[in-house]
Amino acid sequence: MIPSIAFSVPDIAAEAKIQLKSLETGDDIACITSTVNNGKTVNVPAVSYVAVGIAGAALVLTGVSALGAAAAGGSVGGTGTVSPSFLEVITWFQGMAMNGMMSANLPPVYRSFTKNFAFSTGLVPITAVQEGIDAFRGKTGGNLTASSVAVLRNTTLIFQDGSNSTASKVKRAFMDSLLYVRDELTTGINETATNQPQEETMQKTVNGITAYAEQLMVPDADIFMTVLLVAAVVIAAIVVGILLFKAILEGWALFGSFPKGLSGFREHYWMTMARTIVNLVLVLYGVWVLYCIFQFTRGDSWAAQVLAGVTLALFTGVLGYFIFMIFKTARQLKETDGDASGLYDDKATWLKFSIFYDSYKKDFWWLFVPVILYMLAKGIILAGLNGKGMPQAIAQLVVEALSKSLQRLFKIPHD
């Protein structure tokens, strides 16, 4: 009597109930309910690989566009960089992932789909890394009994809709009813039950940020430290990559002549390195606010909380410094030239500050400030109201409405 479509719908949200009644009296003797899973899901590694490829292509195109504009002396006419830029692409991916962190009762299929974009927020689960973080937390006041990768392996996550997720595929056969094709029903379940030992498991009701991260095998107490290590690795890769390219150019200069377009990089590679790291701070700021506030509310290791406070202050300070300097420069340009076109036309100014405003038209160079405030507000809402679905949704709706109102008020073009 099971419809054939149930065998193909991914992340099917269904529940099976078995009732045992007395043949004599008709009274209920037992009742068993279980979520039903057909083994299909929209959380497919290939989607993440494609998304990474798209982000990488956008990064290359944005870099080429920026180099071309720098060689030309600045942004041509204030028309902005190639769209979609890397910032636009990665921000969209982050938006998808952050939607999955909402505390609302999300459908299982959407919850699974958003996990494909976890990489954009720095959540890259590596067991060895998680174990190292757990060891660090254990030495700095962390409670490994309440949250650790070892505990998470033997924990069944219970979501708001009653569905569950287990960290191990073996345990999933015991915790869920698997909806096999009819001729596989007996062999599929019985062989698993007889050949595999049943491990003692715990159940944990989760939602919001905790539910999102722990589905990826990242304990909630490890979230911030995981993202911090990922960011540190990316920054180290940027530094090493730029220094290596600099060394190649120096060797090239000794044994031959290289294109003049690369001479600017050779002379100002420190500025290129600084611009790239600041761009990374801008890209990560929204999710960084989210993870730091979540770490503050989560507590646990005192060292993790100190690192969260220091890095959040550092990131905010860097962005605050550039906001101050850009507005100061714009005011000086308006006093001398009558407008702020020099932010785009003056090469020295463009090289210093363009990563913030070059995607916008000349008349809207200031738009990067509301964008940063939007990222800040979204991070605060998701983390500060974690576990409170309705207030979280209302606050997020207000922020989105204000963003759209700003566009209409100043007639900002969507391109």
The domain limits of the chain are 4-37, 45-121+221-409, 127-220
Q: Is residue 173's pLDDT more than 90?
A: no
Q: What is the structure's pLDDT at 290? A: 94
% pLDDT > 90, the chain: 24
Structure tokens at 148: 């650790």
- Residues 147-173 as b/e (b if ≥16 CB within 10 A, e otherwise) read bbbebbeebbbbbeeebbbbbbeebbb
| pLDDT beyond 90 at 310 | yes
> What whole-number distance in Å separates Cα of residue 47 and Cα of residue 115?
10
Give Cα 211 to chain centroid, integer Å. 14
- For 392, the token pair is 């979280």
Better-predicted residue by pLDDT, 253 or 93: 93
Ranges assigned E (strand) in 187-338: 202-205
Tell me what the mean pLDDT of segment 318-341 comes to: 90
Can you give the pLDDT at residue 227?
93
Measure the CA–CA gap between 40 and 130, rounded to whole angstroms: 27
Which is more confidently placed, 56 or 395? 395
Q: Which of 63-67, 239-243, 361-365 has the lowest mean pLDDT?
A: 63-67
Please classify residue 411 by burial: count the beta carbons closer than 10 Å to its beta carbon, then call 0-12 exposed, 13-18 middle and 19+ buried: exposed
Reply yes or no on whether the pLDDT at 47 is more than 90: no
Q: In this predicted model, what pLDDT tens digit does every residue of 278-287 receive, in sequence order? A: 988 998 999 9
Angle at 218 between CA 210 and CA 304, to 5 degrees: 85
Alpha-carbon distance 156 to 152, whole Å? 8
> Is the pLDDT at 181 greater than 50, yes or no?
no
Give the residue from 367, 364, 170, 356 showing the smallest Cα distance to 281.
Answer: 356
**Residue 64: per-residue pLDDT:** 62
Weakest mean pLDDT among 161-165, 204-208, 228-232, 342-346: 161-165
Name the strands in the sheet holding 28-37, side by side, starting at the edge strand that comes first in the sequence: 14-21, 28-37, 177-178
The confidence band for 292, taking pLDDT boundaries of 50, 70 and 90, is very high
Q: Structure tokens of 168?
A: 């191990």
Place 262 in a pLDDT band, splitting at 50, 70 and 90: low
CA dist 207 → 158, 161, 220 (Å): 9, 10, 11
- Quick one: which of 100, 124, 120 has its CA closest to 283? 120
pLDDT at 228 (0 to 100): 93
* pLDDT at residue 158 greater than cutoff 90: no
The pLDDT-based confidence of 260 (bands split at 50, 70, 90) is: low
Taking 70 as the threshold, does the pLDDT of residue 206 lie above it?
yes
Q: Is 365 exposed, middle or buried (0-12, 13-18, 19+ CB in 10 A)?
A: buried
Reported pTM: 0.80
- pLDDT at 367 > cutoff 80: yes
Q: How many CA atoms within 13 Å lie on the side-chain side of 204?
A: 22
The mean of the pLDDT values for the chain is 79
What pLDDT does 187 receive? 34
Most confident of 3-17, 57-71, 342-356: 342-356
Residue written as token pair 């595929």: 169
Give CA–CA dist 207/36, Å, rounded.
20
User: Residue 172: is its pLDDT beyond 70?
Assistant: no
Alpha carbon distance 268, 242 (integer Å): 11
